[in-house]
């Protein structure tokens, strides 16, 4: 039986129930770059610029740079973008959105009242001024009702429509989170895919990091932390009550502090290792037998 959580959007009690960083995500000159969609929950702060396929943001989200969306861009009420917004297809801007630069839309523009675009805008298609229900609010109200009624198949279809039914997982920032050069902070679990290059300390309820990543910062969680094979963490790894698992060929360029530690024999920790409970070394032959 397949794990229901392995879809384009995690369908739990809240569709934004984890910080999800998909494979290949990078931070390039203060821009957060991903091949898939970017979904940001309300009242979050993303101090980077953002480049992705489609960009969706809830209410009162702040962006510290430009937004570049190959497809659609939808910004709900009171969003603030410090730079330009460049959209390859259609755009929706809710009421009282502020754009510090220029808005360029290749398709249609749906815009609410009191939108402030400091350097003007251009749209190649239709321009409609109205105040419909904000897009993310509408999606998530309907999605939560479907989940409450047990209509999982219908919820799956709605979630796929939100992300364009793409095989590429979206980058998801939960409600009330902060993403910056200094720290990625979320009150939810955090999942990092493979082949990512990130700057900033990662703070979350629990943390799972995939293979062959470079994270220039520390990891800190209340629960468990897993560091996948070939990943380098340029900082400390700390959990208050959980287990730290460091897999083969991973390297921690800092200290490790946890309740219990599981360390692959081919992994390396440059600093001090502290565990309140058990500290186990996993042999390479044991790892292969478990696969």
Q: pLDDT tens, 192-217?
A: 999 999 999 999 999 999 999 999 99
Statement to judge: residues 246 and 164 lie in one domain: no
Domain boundary among 132, 151, 175: 175
Angle between helices 152-162 and 135-148 (to 10 degrees): 160
Q: What is the pLDDT of residue 156?
A: 67
Residue 104 near residue 87, CB atoms below 8 Å: yes
Residue 135: pLDDT band (50, 70, 90) is low
Does residue 85 fall inside a structural domain? yes
State yes or no: pLDDT of 128 exceeds 90. Answer: no
Q: What is the pLDDT of residue 178?
A: 97
Statement to judge: residues 198 and 63 lie in one domain: no
Q: What is the pLDDT of residue 169?
A: 87
Does residue 238 fall inside a structural domain? yes
Across residues 131-156, what is the average pLDDT? 61
Phi and psi angles of residue 147, each rounded to the nearest 5 degrees, phi first: -65, -40
Domain boundary among 146, 175, 204: 175
Does residue 93 fall inside a structural domain? yes
Residue 180 near residue 163, CB atoms below 8 Å: no
Token pair 């003007």 is found at 120
Does residue 84 fall inside a structural domain? yes
Residue span of the structural domain in which 236 resides = 189-290
Q: What angle do CA 67, 73, 74 make, to 5 degrees?
A: 115
Across residues 166-190, what is the average pLDDT? 91
Residue 153: pLDDT band (50, 70, 90) is confident
Does residue 195 fall inside a structural domain? yes
4 membership: H or E segment, kind and range: none
Token pair recorded at residue 76: 């709900």
For the ranges 5-9, 21-25, 221-225, the lowest mean pLDDT is seen at 5-9
State yes or no: pLDDT of 111 exceeds 80. Answer: yes
Statement to judge: residues 96 and 161 lie in one domain: yes
Statement to judge: residues 200 and 106 lie in one domain: no
Does residue 167 fall inside a structural domain? yes
Neighbour count for residue 160 (Cβ, 10 Å): 14
High-pLDDT (> 70) share of the chain, %: 80
Over residues 245-254, the pLDDT tens digits come to 999 999 999 9
Residue 225 near residue 235, CB atoms below 8 Å: no
Statement to judge: residues 80 and 154 lie in one domain: yes
HSE-CB at 131 with a 13 A cutoff on CA atoms is: 8
For the chain, the domain total comes to: 2
Please provide the DSSP assignment of 141-204 as one string: HHHHHHHHTT-HHHHHHHHHHHTTT-SSPPEEE-TT-EE-SSEEE-SS-EEE-SS-EEESEEEE
Does residue 2 fall inside a structural domain? no
HSE-CB at 210 with a 13 A cutoff on CA atoms is: 14
Q: What is the pLDDT of residue 259?
A: 96
Across residues 266-274, what is the average pLDDT? 96
Statement to judge: residues 48 and 100 lie in one domain: yes
Q: 9 vs 242, which has greater pLDDT?
A: 242
State yes or no: pLDDT of 129 exceeds 80. Answer: no
Distance between CA atoms of residues 50 and 180, nearest Å: 12
Does residue 118 fall inside a structural domain? yes
State yes or no: pLDDT of 5 exceeds 50. Answer: no
Q: What is the pLDDT of residue 1?
A: 33
Residue 285: pLDDT band (50, 70, 90) is confident
Statement to judge: residues 165 and 29 lie in one domain: yes
Distance between CA atoms of residues 29 and 70, nearest Å: 19
- Arithmetic mean of pLDDT over the chain: 86
Please provide the DSSP assignment of 57-86 as one string: E-TT-EESS-EEESS-EEE-TT-EESS-EE
Across residues 18-35, what is the average pLDDT? 94
């Amino acid at each position: 039986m397949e794990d229901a959580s392995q879809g384009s959007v995690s369908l739990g009690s809240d569709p934004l129930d984890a910080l999800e960083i998909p494979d290949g995500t990078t931070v390039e000159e203060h821009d957060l770059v991903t091949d898939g969609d970017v979904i940001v929950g309300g009242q979050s702060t993303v101090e980077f610029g953002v480049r992705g396929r489609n960009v969706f943001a809830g209410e009162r989200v702040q962006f510290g740079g430009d937004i570049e969306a190959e497809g659609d861009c939808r910004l709900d009420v009171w969003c603030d973008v410090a730079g330009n917004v460049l959209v390859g297809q259609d755009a929706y801007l809710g009421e009282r959105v502020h754009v510090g630069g220029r808005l360029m839309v290749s398709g249609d523009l749906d815009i609410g009242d009191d939108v402030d675009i400091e350097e003007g805008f251009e749209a190649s298609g239709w321009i409609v001024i109205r105040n419909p229900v904000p897009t993310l609010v509408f999606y998530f109200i309907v999605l939560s009702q479907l989940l409450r009624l047990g209509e999982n198949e219908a919820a799956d279809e709605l979630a796929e429509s939100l992300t364009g039914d793409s095989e590429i997982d979206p980058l998801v920032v939960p409600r009330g989170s902060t993403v910056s050069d200094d720290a990625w902070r979320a009150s939810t679990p955090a999942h990092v895919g493979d082949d990512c290059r990130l700057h900033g300390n990662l703070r979350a309820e629990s943390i799972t990091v995939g293979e062959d990543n470079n994270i220039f910062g520390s990891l800190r969680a209340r629960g468990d932390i897993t560091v996948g094979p070939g990943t380098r963490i340029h900082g400390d790894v700390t959990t208050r009550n959980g287990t730290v698992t460091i897999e083969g060929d991973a390297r921690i360029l800092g200290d490790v502090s946890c309740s219990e530690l599981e360390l692959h024999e081919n992994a390396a920790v440059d600093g001090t290792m502290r565990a309140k409970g058990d500290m186990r070394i996993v042999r390479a032959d044991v790892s292969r037998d478990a696969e």
